[in-house]
Structure 1
Amino acid sequence: MHISDKTPLESTWPAVATVGVGAFALVTTEFLPVGLLPNIAADLAITEGQAGLMVTLPGFLAALAAPLTLQWAARLDRRFLLVGLLGLLAISNALVSVADTFWILLVGRVMLGLAVGSFWTIAGTLGFRLRPAQGARATALIFSGVSLGTVAGVPAGTLLGDWLGWRVVFEVAAVTSMLVALALYRLLPSLPSQTQTGAAALFKLMNEPSPRLGLLAVLLVFSGQFAAYTYVAPYLDGLIGLNSQMLSLALLVFGVAGFIGNGLGATLINKGIQTAMAVTLILMAAPMLILAALPSLQLAVSSVVFVLILLWGLGFGLLPMVMQSWLFSLAPTQPETMGAVFVCSAQVSIGIGALGGGLLVDNLGVVTAMAAGGVLAGITLLVLRSHRLNVNQQETKAI
């Protein structure tokens, strides 16, 4: 693994941290609309379902950009590529902040999707390149930006939007993105491109039944998550009656619980990957289904809602690490290939979930989006059970 001779190894920790800050900026920007959806919809005179396309489009574009990045950026130094992607993020946020029509808004979010897909294709491998002897620790630092974006970025953006308006939030995000781009340019060493796994390995992997089943699980659970989570603000505001401060607090609770879940992931995995997956899916499915039922049961008590949001956040915090570990167990000899497909599939699922949830919200009400999320998480649990039974049957036949 190559590190520029001009940059001593000891000096690369600031570079690793800056990549993590870039991850924070991207994740925060991708999910800012979750807390600002009602304000954006009202300002542009669109439905909340239409505003949900701010999450749908980046997901689809990120999924498209991820595998294509290794083609169009095959020879680019990764340092300059990441700087350019954070610059694109800054332009995206600036365009959204001044958008006076729905279409200009969507153009800005398309730029975000391209930045997200390409960034994660490259950034996920940089921990081991920048700190070869401490790659796991460096990778964890980079991915901590994801948790911090959920814990701090989205709730802070929601609160700032309530005080100063949603456009100011995206203006701040634009300035932050540009500052991160400048920091990456200053701190990252030269990172020439390396030989990457090609498309042939991806097609070969998808011809195997276990990985296909695993990716079906990714599609189901991530679609369900974002069918519900994208519209949690309209649910808590419109049906539960939380004011803007309480809404920000609910999103903060979700984020903090997710951060805790992320930290508990390794411990839970050590107890068995099947058990870890089952616990994760139950923690996601049950709160969403109960939240969907609360209005009809007339039990929309704030304390109950916050407990359910906490449990849901805990489950979602566990999901990325537990899901990836399960997928890697399905293809133990091809972890990098499976990881690349996972990123692409998860981003597609985010788009599908936000789009499907928007259609449900506009036509049947926001409760149905919550219900859909819980049902899909439950179906994922059945898929997990099906795979476990198949493995047990194969082991029995082998004996």
Structure 2
Amino acid sequence: MAANNSSSSLWMAVLSLSIGTFALVTTEFLPIGLLSYIADDFGISPGAAGFLVTMPGFFAAIAAPICTVAAGTVDRRILLLGFTILLTVSNLIVASASSFEVAVAGRALLGISVGGFWTFAAAAGRRLVEPQDGNRATSIVMTGISVGTVVGVPLGSALGSLLGWRLAFFAVAILSLVVVLIQALVLPKIFMTASQSFRDLARVAGDRKLAVAFAAIALAAGGHFTAYTYLEPHLVRDVGAGPTELGWMLAIFGGAGIAGTFIGERIASKSPPTGTAIVAIAMAASIFATVCASSNLLIESLAVAAWGTAFGAVPVCVQLWTYSASPERFETSSALTVSMFQIAVAAGSLGGGFLADGFGIRFAFMAATALSMFCALLAAISSFKRSPDYLSGTMK
């Protein structure tokens, strides 16, 4: 349990976790808005530059379960601060990279930071507040992830245009350092009374209700990043957006994603599988509209806004789904959620790169539409078979 603190200071601690997840996920997806700059600098294709998005995903997927087991009962405050410091180091390495390989190594360190911090942050947030406030704390922490996911691209594009891609990473390194200082000031000690084992992870992974949720997040994230990794090249090459239009389009996406995090909490509060199905359908429709409306800037903007709103809701919906399915194993399920999400990010970015380079960006968007519909179908089937807790709208 967290050390005894006032209610306001504990909510400040929850907010610091949200800021931390925001900094981590913003950094993770920063290269998406900088692919053209990075590719030109290193003399590689945009598809190859997408490996900077893929690498953190693979390492985060591996790091999340390992960190859960290795952490034991260690004070979560120490771990969270350590992972944020690692984020700062990663950004500095990428900003000063003399070769693409060095940049990739820096991004691998980021993956470890993302996997560890995200795993512990959601569960720590619930432990900082009273049980009845747990869902709100989780939503606040997950808002940082959702906002970082959608803000990373427009922020990267804007910083890249103003400062160049290297200074963009250096600026985020400074942000990361500020986050470390904030967390050091407001995070209390968070003691754990039990440790996890790989056997515990296996049991959670084998839980049928949780397994469906893990599959849903994999399909949603995989579909999203199959297309989203190449949104900037699509807007530039297919839509013909100039620097000003590109900045506005990505800003629209980011702003809509912020709204989506609050919408996700509302629609998933009674039935997380149903909420997930709704946002997945909306995401599929908006991705399809984005690729089909390339000749009309207004319709394209509306489609991009709908896409940002839908995906902004996804992490919140799925995190509430896994908690409601097994509240007592939330930290362990969070680790596996991170693994599935990050594997999907890596696979989606990599697969989208192959499709974009081999057949054109439009093929990547169509594949993303299909994966999002599979997610919607899976979540819809689960909602029809939901437990009595879901039927009564009870969320612990």
TM norm. shorter chain > 0.5: yes
In the alignment, is the contact (CA less than 8 A) between 2:24 and 2:114 conserved in 1? Answer: yes
| Alignment partners' CA distance in 1, 2:140 and 2:216 | 27
Task: Find the counterpart in structure 2 of residue 397 from structure 1.
Answer: none
Please state how far the C-alpha of 1:99 moved relative to its aligned partner: 1.2
Between the aligned residues of both structures, percent identity stands at 37
- Single out whichever of 271-280 and 97-106 deviates more from structure 2: 271-280
- Residue 281 of structure 2 aligns with an amino acid whose one-letter code is I
Picking from 379, 384, 393, the partner of 2:379 is: 384
- Provide, for residues 317-338 of structure 1, a one-character-per-residue CA deviation record: whole Å limited to 9, x for no partner: 2212223344456557755543
Structure 1's 241 and 147: CA in aligned 2 closer, same or farther, altered over 3 A?
A: same
Structure 1 residue 387 displacement after superposition: 4.4
Q: Map 1:122-201 onto structure 2 (within 5 A).
A: 122-132=120-130, 134-150=133-149, 152-201=151-200
Residue 85 (structure 2) aligns with: 87
Question: C-alpha displacement at 1:221, in angstroms?
Answer: 1.9
Q: Which deviates more, 324-333 or 80-89?
A: 324-333
**Map of 2:267 onto structure 1:** 268
Rounded to whole Å, the distance in 1 between the matches of 2:325 and 2:127 is: 26
Matched AA of 1:45: G
Instruction: Give the alignment of 1:302-317 within 5 angstroms.
Output: 302-317=297-312
- Write the distance in 2 (CA, Å) between the matches of 1:73 and 1:327: 21
> What is residue 225 of structure 1 aligned with on the other side?
224
Q: Secondary structure at the match of 1:124?
A: helix
AA aligned opposite 1:339? S
Work out whether 1:119 is the aligned partner of 2:117: yes
User: Bigger shift: 333-342 or 350-359?
Assistant: 333-342
C-alpha spacing 1:118/1:334, structure 2 compared with 1 (3 Å) = closer
Moved more, 19-28 or 59-68: 19-28
CA contact (8 A) 1:127 1:136 kept: no
Cα distance in 2 for partners of 1:367, 1:314 equals 21
Structure-to-structure mapping, 1:290-369, within 5 angstroms: 290-294=289-293, 300-328=295-323, 334-369=329-364
2:394 maps to none
Aligned-pair distance for 1:9?
Answer: 5.9
1: CA distance, partners of 2:209 / 2:113: 31
Q: C-alpha deviations, 1:237-267, integer Å up to 9, x for none?
A: 1111111222122121112111112112233
In structure 1, the partner of 2:392 is none
Quote how far apart the aligned CAs of 1:54 are.
1.1
Indicate how the Cα distance of structure 1 residues 266 and 122 shifts in structure 2: closer, same or farther if over 3 A, else same.
closer
1:58 offset after TM fit, Å? 0.6
**Paired residue for 2:27?**
29
Quick one: distance in 1 between partners of 2:207 and 2:93?
43
Deviates more, 1:364-373 or 1:374-383: 374-383
Deviation of the 1:106 alpha carbon: 0.1
2:342 is paired with a residue of what secondary structure? helix
Q: Deviations over 1:246-299 (max 9, x none)?
A: 2122121112111112112233235754542332111111121233334xxxx5
Superposed CA RMSD: 2.6
Cα distance between partner residues in 2 of 1:51 and 1:188: 36
Distance 1:178 1:328, change over 3 A: closer
AA in 1 matched with 2:366: A
Q: What's 2:214 paired with? A: 215
Within 5 Å, which residues of 2 pair with 1:55-70? 55-70=53-68
Larger deviation, residues 104-113 vs 174-183: 174-183
Instruction: Give CA deviations for 1:121-151 in whole Å, capped at 9, x if unaligned.
Output: 2211222333346444444433332244345
Question: Which of the two has higher C-alpha Rg?
Answer: 1
- Give, in angstroms, the shift of residue 172 of structure 1: 0.7
- Aligned match of 1:255: 254
Q: Secondary structure of the equivalent of 2:22? A: helix
CA distance in 1, matches of 2:273, 2:189: 41
Distance 2:309 2:191 in 1: 38
1:395 — aligned with what?
none
For the 8 Å contact 2:274–2:383, the answer to whether it is kept is: no
Do the aligned residues in 1 keep the contact of 2:32 with 2:229 (CA within 8 Å)? Answer: yes
Shift of 1:156: 2.9
Q: Deviations over 1:367-387 (max 9, x none)?
A: 111111101111223333554
Distance 1:269 1:80 in 2: 32
Q: Can you give the 5+ residue segments of structure 1 that lack an aligned partner in the other structure?
A: 393-399
Distance 1:347 1:47 in 2: 23
Please, what TM-score do these two structures have when normalized by structure 2?
0.88
> What does residue 38 of structure 2 align with?
40
Q: Contact 2:76/2:189 (CA < 8 Å) preserved in 1?
A: yes
Matched letter for residue 293 of structure 1:
C
Q: Which amino acid aligns with 1:126?
A: A
Q: What is the alpha-carbon distance in structure 2 between the residues aligned to residue 216 and residue 47 of structure 1?
A: 31
CA distance in 1, matches of 2:257, 2:374: 22
Distance across 1 between alignment mates of 2:243 and 2:358:
25
Q: How many residues align?
A: 386
Q: Which ranges in structure 2 are unaligned for 5 or more consecutive residues?
A: 388-396
Which of 99, 103, 106 aligns to 1:105? It is 103
Aligned to 1:396: none
